[in-house]
Structure 1
Amino acid sequence: MEGPYPDIQGGGSLILAWQIRNKHVLVIGGGEVAAGRIVNVLNADAKVTVVAPRSGLNDEVAYRVHQKQVEHVDRNFEPSDLDGADMVMCAVDDPEASSQIYKLCKEKRIAANIADVPPECDFYFGSVHRDGPLQIMVSTNGNGPKLANIVRKQIAATLPYNIGTAIQRVGMLRKKLRKVAPNIEEGPKRMQWMIKVCEKWTLDDLCEMTDEDMEELLGFYKPNTVPSLEAVRLGEPDGAFDGPFLI
């Protein structure tokens, strides 16, 4: 008999959006795997240091170094490199050295990812689809990275072409709304009103919404109504929306 609440499956991982803006991320190694890790953390606005001999840098990592997108320490890893690190990613072809680095990270309580060694990973990298502010990650919890990539592509193929732009415009509207209704007690009403906008307006409407449209739309927050985009642009008074435009 099924219970009233979701069944516990176990064996998974907690998928989070980890904010690492301005955090210090240490990448050990300079090959292809390291290059992929670097892109991921740079996209999250982290401060990245790469420790690897210059002779071991692949073209992409060397480019990041040349462009000063990352700091580079031209030598093999030393334990002192962990000082000040908030996160460590190890991508070297030396299992014994990798395990030692993981142990050092555990001693210092630093979250670490040891490439291709799931038991020595505090977190995994999934296959990510990115469209502006939209990020969708598919994880197989280390069981099948290639399958994660296949699933991610199938999901991305089903998304509307303009979803990223729509989300960006909604984000701008939310920021403006917080200025209109900044009080904490307005929180539930703000949330419900934004839900109404997202449900009533199409993605095309959201993409086409200009700053002027946002200012007009925000005028309908106080009476808690949501007119159509067309009605917003006609500049009808609040009282005009007592029919199909009310939610």
Structure 2
Amino acid sequence: MSEEFPAIQGGGSLILAWQIRNKRVLVVGGGEVAAGRILNVLNADAKVTVISPRSGLNPEVVHRIEKGQVTYHDRKFEPSDLDNVDMVLTAIDDPATSTVIWKLCKERKIAANIADVPPECDFYFGSVHRDGPLQIMVSTNGNGPKLASIVRKQIAANLPVDIGAAVQKVGMLRKKLRKVAPDVEEGPKRMGWMSRVCEEWSLEELVEMDEEDMDRLLGFYKPNTVPTFEEVRLGDAAEELAFDGSFGWWI
């Protein structure tokens, strides 16, 4: 019986989409690596503070400061910088100071990432492909950042153009479905029907889907069927439907 279940591999990380909107993130360092870290957390709508002597700032970090996208302090790290902080990212060429920061974070139970020192990291930054709401991260668990980038590019190259738009449209379809079938007890059916749409329609078809297609498609929810994209787009099936104003289209 045990062979029917996945084997435990171990040595991995729990990859999550960490919501840090309005969380206070401290970045210690201002070089190229710090610039990448800053962009990552700004994209997640965090409130970012950068600590670094001005002489060590990367042009991109200077740009973030000048645009007011981060709070900046022109000096070296001080322990008091950890007051009222939710996350710490260090990217400095000073292993001793990095280790001190790491230990202070452990004492205060603050999640931290010490660049290029995997043992001193609560989490890793992977190589991320971003297309609108779609984010795909490849992680090597700190073993090979460059390889992660190569794998990520290969994955992205095989995705349909504008796949992010498909994700947005699926989100819109889900919202429309909730209006068509708002009752709590409809939850399992809604989830199952949406899953079938995503499985039976190709990614390219989801990219091409427009709002009129969505409205036609929703007519098949009550009978719990999923027509093909061609049937919805051509309207062949719609001609066989009657309209029930209390719910929507039904067969």
Structure 2 length as normaliser, TM-score? 0.88
Kept in 1: contact 2:89–2:113 (CA 8 A): yes
Q: How does 1:66-81 map to 2 (within 5 A)?
A: 66-81=66-81
Aligned to 1:175: 175
Q: Which residue of 1 aligns with 2:87?
A: 87
Q: CA deviation at 1:237?
A: 4.6
Give the alignment's Cα RMSD to 1 decimal.
2.2
Contact 2:50 2:70 survives alignment (8 Å): yes
**3-state SS of 1:154 partner:** helix
- Could you tell me whether the CA contact under 8 Å between 1:29 and 1:51 is conserved in 2? yes
Residues 3-14 of structure 1 mapped to structure 2, 5 A cutoff:
3-14=3-14
Q: Using the aligned pairs only, state the percent identity.
A: 74
* Structure 1 segment 142-181 matched on structure 2, within 5 A: 142-181=142-181
| Alignment match, 2:106 | 106
Following the alignment from structure 1 to structure 2, what is the Cα–Cα distance between the partners of residues 140 and 16?
15
| CA displacement at 1:19 relative to structure 2 | 1.1
Instruction: Name whichever of 227-236 and 187-196 sits farther off.
Output: 227-236
* Residue number in structure 2 paired with 1:128: 128
Cα offset for 1:180? Answer: 2.5
Deviates more, 1:226-235 or 1:35-44: 226-235
Runs of 4+ aligned residues of structure 1 deviating over 4 Å after TM superposition are none
**CA offset at residue 164 of structure 1?**
2.1
Residue 224 of structure 1 and its aligned partner are, at CA, apart by 1.6
Q: Which residue in the other structure is 2:246 paired with?
A: none
Structure 1 residue 10: deviation in Å?
Answer: 1.2
1:47 matched to 2:35? The reply is no
Which runs of 5 or more structure 2 residues have no equivalent in the other structure? 244-251
Per the TM alignment, residue 228 of structure 1 is displaced from its structure 2 partner at its CA by 3.6
Deviation at 1:238?
3.0
1:31-87 Cα shifts (integer Å, max 9, x gaps): 101001011111111111111122221100000111111111222111121122111
How many residue pairs get matched? 241
Structure 1: segments with no counterpart, 5+ residues: 241-247
Asked if the contact 1:162/1:203 (under 8 Å) is kept, the reply is: no
Name the residue aligned to 2:241.
Answer: 238
